[in-house]
Structure 1
Amino acid sequence: MTTTSPLAARPGAVVAEGATAAAHQVAVHYGDPLREQRLLAEGAGLVDRSDRDVLTVPGADRLTWLHSLTSQHLERLADGSGTEALVLSPHGHVEHHLVLAELGGTTWADVEPGTGAELLTFLQRMVFMLRVEPALVTDTWALLALVGPRAPEVLAAAGLPAPDAPSAVVALPGGGFVRRVPALGDGAATAFDLLVPRAELAARADALTAAGAGVAGLDAYEALRVEARRPRHGVDTDHRTIPNELAWLSTAVHLEKGCYRGQETVARVHNLGRPPRRLVLLHLDGVSEDLPVPGTPVLAGTRDVGRVGTVVRHHEFGVVALALVKRSVAPDAALTVGGSRAALDPDDAAGDRDARDDTRAAARDRVRAVRSATIGR
C-alpha cells in the first residue's frame, strides 16, 4: 500500500508515474524543474525525501553490533555524529547503503526507498543474544532535505540548529534531528537532512518555507547529486558493484577495521589498485526526448563498456548521467547510450592516472562535439 506525501498535494506538484518501490510517494517537481535546480544551487530549496526508508537501532550493543556487520568503523561513533556504511555480500558486492546518525542512545539509518524491510530482515537474523532492537519506522518518521548556499540562514530564521561540522547531528525540539551532509552540485550547495515526525511533515515544511526556503522536487535534488557524482544504491549500482568502484570506498568503508562480510574482496582490490569499473559523469547529446533508463548499456562502437545509472537534465550541462564504465575506456572515446552520443566529463577522463592536460583536453574536445551535435539539430 502506498500513500502520497502531503507536500505532493501542493500547487504544481507532479508525482512520478509508473511503479515504484517507495511506500510514500513524493513530488518529482513543482512545475519548473530547471528553476528548482537553480534554487538549490543558488538559494535555499526544501526537498521532500520522505520516500526513503528509516530504521532505528537502540540498545546497549548497537554500535559494536553494527560495526561487525558493516564496512564502517562504528564502535566509537560519537553521539551527535553521522556517517555512511555498507552491507556487503560475502563476495564484496554492495547490498545496502546506509546513511547513519547516532543520537541519544539510538542509531538511525535511512536507506533507499523500498529496501528497509529487506535490511531489517537481515539485521533481525543477526541479533542472536545481543542487546539490540532494530525496527523499521518509515511510517512514523520522514526525511526532508534543505539545500543551497542560503540553507544555514533559513534554519536560523526558523529557529533551528545548523550544524557547522561535517556529518554533525543535532536534535530537534519535539524529536528528530538536523544532520549536515556533503554539499551537492559543485560544492556550493550546502545541504542538511532533517528527520521529522511524519505526522508533522507539512507543518515542519511550512515553517521552513516561511523562513525563506522555496520548494523543489526530487528531480532537482537528483540533478545536483549527479553533478556531485554521489551514487544511489540500486540505481547507479548493479549486482556486481563493489565499493572500490565508487566514492563510497572513502565515505562508507574503513580500510583498517576488523573483519566484516565482504572485506576480503574490498582489501584485495584496494591493494591491487585495479577495480574493474569506475563511476564517471557522462555528457549525452540530449537529442531524444526520452532519457535512457538505469541499466542501459554504454557502448564504444558495438562493444559494451558499462551501464548508466541516473540520467538527468541539468540546468547548466544539459543531459548528463552517472555511469559505471570499464577502467579501459579511453578519455576521448566515442560512446553511445541508448542511441545518444556520449562523452566522459573531462574531470573523470584521467581515471586513476594523473589528470594530465592532454588527457583532459581530449575529453573536453569530445564533450564539445557531443554538445555541438545537439545545438546543430
Structure 2
Amino acid sequence: MAGLALRFRLDLVQQAWDGFQAGQFASEVGERIGVDRTTAKRMLVAAGGVRPRRGRNLQGRYLSFAEREETAVGVAAGESVRSIAARIGRAPSTVSRELTRNTVRGRYRASVAQVTAMGRAVRPKPAKLATNARLRARVEADLAKRRSPEQIAGRLRRDFPEDPEMQVSAETIYQSLYVQSRGALKQELVRCLRTGRALRHPSRKAGQRKNRIPNMVNIVERPAEALDRAVPGHWEGDLIIGAGNQSAIGTLVERSSNFTMLVPLPDGYKPDQVAPALTRKIQQLPEQLRGTLTWDQGPEMRDWEQVRIDTGIEVFFCDPHSPWQRGINENTNGLLRQYFPKGTPLAGFSEAHLDAVAAELNDRPRKRLEFQTPNEVIGNVLLR
C-alpha cells in the first residue's frame, strides 16, 4: 500500500477501483479520473488486481482535501497560521500540526499531504501468513499440490479446529499471493492456481457491467427450430485471435451440418471492420440459409443491427461467459488451431487461403453426421 501511495494519489486509486469494479475498461476509468489508459492500467497492476484498503474516513478533526488546498494557497501567499486557520474554520493548532507533519523539503502541497494522510490512516496489520512461519509453510506446501485456497482454508479448519493460529481464510491466501507488498507468499505460487493468472481480475458488482452492444437480443429469444439443429440455416460465430491480440479471423459454423466459413479481417477486428466483412461473407449464402446467427457478447459485434439489415439474418447473443451456448463453433475453433496455432499472426492470410482451409474442414467426415461430410449435408439441403 505504501508503494502504491508513493506512485498514485490514493483518492484517485479508489476512484479508479470504483470504475474497474463497475466493469469499465481502463480507457473509461482513465477518462473518469483524468489520466490516460496506461496509467489507469498501472493502478490495477500495482495492486496485483486486489483493491487496496481504503483509508479510514478522514473527517472530523482531519482536514479535507479542499481544506488542504486552501491551506496550500495561504502558505504560498505568505499568510500566517492564524489567518489560514480563521479562513478555513479550523483551530490554529490544527493548521500548525498539518504543516509540521506534511511539509516536504520546505514545501507544502495539498495533493502530497492528502496522500500521506490517507496512507497513515490505513495502518495495515502485518499479514498473518507473513508472521506465522508454520502456517505459511503449510499453505505453500498445499498450494504446490495445486489445492485451491478454499480447499486449503477448509482443510486447515478441519485439521486444527482448536488452533485459530493455524487457520486462515481463502481471501487472505489470495491477497498474500497477489499483493506482494504484504510480504507473505511467493508470487510464483500463483502458477499453482487453476487460472495461473499473475494478476487478479477485479470482482464486479452484479448488473453493473456497461453494455457494449446496443439493443442486443438474447439467445433465449432465438427460434426453437435453431435449438434442435434439424432445420438448416442457423449459424454460430466467433473470432479466433492471433499473436498479441493484434489480428483475428472470423468463423461461421452452420449448426445442422457443421459447414464452416472463414471471414478475413486483414485490417483488424474493431466493430467497423467486422460488420462489413461479416456482411459480405453472409451475402454469399443463399437466402434459405440465412436464418439466425448466434455470437458471444464481444464488442466487435457492436454494429450487429447493420449486419441484420444488410443480410436479412437474425442475430442473437449468448449469455456472458457461456461458451457452451455456441458449442459447435467452439469445437470448430479448436479444429482451426491445427491450421492457425495460437501465437500465429492472422492478418496476412488471403481470402483464398482461408477458403481452402474451410473447404478442407468441410470435406472432413464427422461422427455426429454419421461420417458424412459437412459439404454433403449442406449439399443435400441445397438440392431440396
Q: TM-score, normalised by structure 1?
A: 0.30
**Larger strand proportion of the pair:** 1
Q: Which has the larger radius of gyration?
A: 2
Q: TM-score, normalised by structure 2?
A: 0.30
**Larger helix proportion of the pair:** 2
